Structure 1
């Protein structure tokens, strides 16, 4: 079964990082995700406490599903979609894949970093502030994301497939990144670093800065050498003046934050209809019929603040139970590695402000981290794991 899970994991990651231009393959990705879920359910080698936590959640989520369809009269298709999404993400803690599958995960994300880096450089060479607009409208029209520039010299490529670039980078520069023995390890790290920068997500840069700061403070036993650190710093310094970039980014984020604030207000008003809806939610698959100055939310099921949308559906009681279950399962799976927990928290921080949480991205993140801490050690790695363990005891 693990072979089937690993194979499905590889293809899901391929589609996830190739959503541009292969978004048409999304149904296949969903099918492969269900296959991973099914094969994981057949595996009986799960601890009793983890099964109990999962079973309790499935029971309450099933009640929430019936409540949504029968009492709140939400669309069954939307309700079932939300139900399956919540169940699948939670079940990811029970799935592990092979070392080879994890290597393909890294390869796909490095390729994505290369793709957006080439796209950014090509647009810098071919376009200016006025002539690039048809390309931007084309990308937006296909719902692939956005491409834009503040000055005509540096183009930001924010497209589907970028969600796990920072997550992959954090793994690669952690002690666990050395487990893969990549021949061009340093080059791959530099490419991922450049990809995170070109992706232009301000939350990425904040989390990356904090992660590197923590890495430096902790002084990991397996650290990047001075040349690599110098190369990463040179990449930052040689880029278009950082101060101006950050200033422009903050300015541009005002509209983005406005969108998120608008969503927060719409979902909060809907949730706060009365005490009953505040505690029990508006039901799985709930949609709001609201039109604001910024957007028409009628029948909308996709929000940048995806976690808050789930709170709107589940209410504070069920949502708190669901989040606590994630915390407990993460603790049971990752308690042996401080850096796996740090990487997961880093992902949660940047994903919470983007539509990258409680979806296929988080499903893949959990499986990846679960597999990293579960890998059988090669002889060369035993000393590494001992060092990591000693570091965690400090």
Structure 2
């Protein structure tokens, strides 16, 4: 009896430490401005490693409660990733980068089996409300207080320090695309799923608008439409909502077309960069049969400089999924199948969470917000929201 109580106490301590760490990491990731200026850039990576070391016993316990096919799938992906480390080192890749991408691939799989109480989801939403409020006040500051010369200096400050970009096309709306924004859409999705106060939802939605990432807009719109349809609890309501959406789509379609015609030419440079990255990563992957099948190994870097960018020793790309494919080859397909399958199994009871996860993937695949700490935070926060659902 005493041993059983001791085990329970130890598990409570591990849960508390894990929860505390993940809340701190979420705060640091959302507040990369200004913390990166103070030398905090690598802290979330260190803390996430410490988090999984602390919660490893919880992961093992929860994994072996799962069905056999889940245990087999996760075990196979662990073995493949571990063997790929040796292959990557044999390729001559930088050991630090090899370990980094190996750990990320493993941590994402592990995250599905670690669940905290809904305190984490609430903290996740609250932290992103702070980020959203910062964007709102920053927008007001840019619109009504600073001069045109100051705005040029502000933009250069963010660009020079690799903190993102702040710019405008017309002087009436500033796009504040800075580090710390990638969690905003998921926080908004969770605020709907967990039925947070309207003011919370509005603040997060305004933050998404100010962040002005086209992929954010698309994924948020997709989530809102599908979530609205999912909430129809009978066929009559579903048909009624479909008709409303169709009618609304007819009204707003011309405005969407006008917006796309306006914004896409201005995004030409960004689109060209993504096209270039796709081409050079696939070309590098296709150099020989072995690399085409197995990839170039974890942490593979290129020695290429184009007229647009210098990609020498670069490990972050706008098309980070293509970079992962470059590293992992055909196994990347198995890996993405594994994480999507685990998400489907994990969120099968509350399908709104699976929808939120898919919409996260939708905007993350075209930005460097996937297969990193951000991905882990999204999974853990979605996991924790389930506690509230079960109570209800």
Q: TM-score, structure 2 length as denominator?
A: 0.85
Deviation readout 1:47-84 (Å, 9 max, x if unpaired): 243343222212111111111112x1111111111111
Q: CA deviation at 1:9?
A: 1.3
Deviation readout 1:347-384 (Å, 9 max, x if unpaired): 10011111111111110111111222245744xx2xxx
Could you tell me whether the CA contact under 8 Å between 1:150 and 1:248 is conserved in 2? no
Indicate the residue corresponding to 1:328 in structure 2. 341
Number of residues paired by the alignment? 354
Is 1:115 aligned to 2:128, yes or no?
A: no
Paired with 1:361 and 1:27, the residues of 2 have a C-alpha distance of 13
Q: CA deviation at 1:22?
A: 0.6
Indicate the residue corresponding to 2:308 in structure 1. 294
Deviation readout 1:304-354 (Å, 9 max, x if unpaired): 1111101001112x1122112112211221111221111111110011111
> Aligned to 2:325, what secondary structure does the other structure show?
helix
Aligned with 2:87 (options 52, 67, 71): 67
Is 1:177 aligned to 2:189, yes or no?
A: no
Is 1:94 aligned to 2:113, yes or no?
A: yes
Indicate the residue corresponding to 2:76 in structure 1. 56
Is 1:211 aligned to 2:231, yes or no?
A: no
Q: CA deviation at 1:220?
A: 4.2
Paired with 2:35 and 2:140, the residues of 1 have a C-alpha distance of 22
Is 1:305 aligned to 2:319, yes or no?
A: yes
Q: 1:242 to 1:131 in 2, by over 3 A?
A: farther
Aligned with 2:202 (options 161, 172, 190): 190
Is 1:26 aligned to 2:41, yes or no?
A: yes
Deviation readout 1:136-193 (Å, 9 max, x if unpaired): 00011111100000011211100011001111111212xx322xxx5xx111111111
Could you tell me whether the CA contact under 8 Å between 2:62 and 2:113 is conserved in 1? no
Could you tell me whether the CA contact under 8 Å between 1:169 and 1:192 is conserved in 2? yes
> Aligned to 2:267, what secondary structure does the other structure show?
helix
Q: CA deviation at 1:131?
A: 4.5
Indicate the residue corresponding to 2:167 in structure 1. 148
Deviation readout 1:100-136 (Å, 9 max, x if unpaired): 2221111000110110111111101134655511110
Indicate the residue corresponding to 1:388 in structure 2. none
Could you tell me whether the CA contact under 8 Å between 2:33 and 2:163 is conserved in 1? yes
Aligned with 2:356 (options 328, 343, 346): 343
Paired with 2:307 and 2:99, the residues of 1 have a C-alpha distance of 31
Is 1:14 aligned to 2:27, yes or no?
A: yes
Aligned with 2:187 (options 155, 158, 168): 168
Indicate the residue corresponding to 1:39 in structure 2. 54
Q: 1:99 to 1:215 in 2, by over 3 A?
A: closer
Paired with 2:314 and 2:365, the residues of 1 have a C-alpha distance of 19
Could you tell me whether the CA contact under 8 Å between 1:202 and 1:249 is conserved in 2? no
Could you tell me whether the CA contact under 8 Å between 2:294 and 2:329 is conserved in 1? yes
Could you tell me whether the CA contact under 8 Å between 2:285 and 2:296 is conserved in 1? yes
Paired with 1:114 and 1:296, the residues of 2 have a C-alpha distance of 35
53-62 vs 110-119, greater mean Cα deviation: 53-62
Could you tell me whether the CA contact under 8 Å between 2:118 and 2:386 is conserved in 1? no
Paired with 1:220 and 1:19, the residues of 2 have a C-alpha distance of 39
Could you tell me whether the CA contact under 8 Å between 2:30 and 2:179 is conserved in 1? yes
In structure 1, the gaps of 5 or more residues are 224-232, 382-394
Could you tell me whether the CA contact under 8 Å between 2:119 and 2:384 is conserved in 1? no
Paired with 2:48 and 2:94, the residues of 1 have a C-alpha distance of 23
Q: CA deviation at 1:204?
A: 1.0
Paired with 1:45 and 1:369, the residues of 2 have a C-alpha distance of 16
- What is the CA RMSD across the aligned residues, in angstroms? 2.1
Paired with 1:245 and 1:111, the residues of 2 have a C-alpha distance of 29
Q: CA deviation at 1:251?
A: 2.0
Q: 1:98 to 1:298 in 2, by over 3 A?
A: same
Paired with 1:298 and 1:10, the residues of 2 have a C-alpha distance of 34
> Aligned to 1:158, what secondary structure does the other structure show?
strand
Paired with 2:27 and 2:219, the residues of 1 have a C-alpha distance of 25
Paired with 1:103 and 1:11, the residues of 2 have a C-alpha distance of 13
Q: CA deviation at 1:28?
A: 2.5
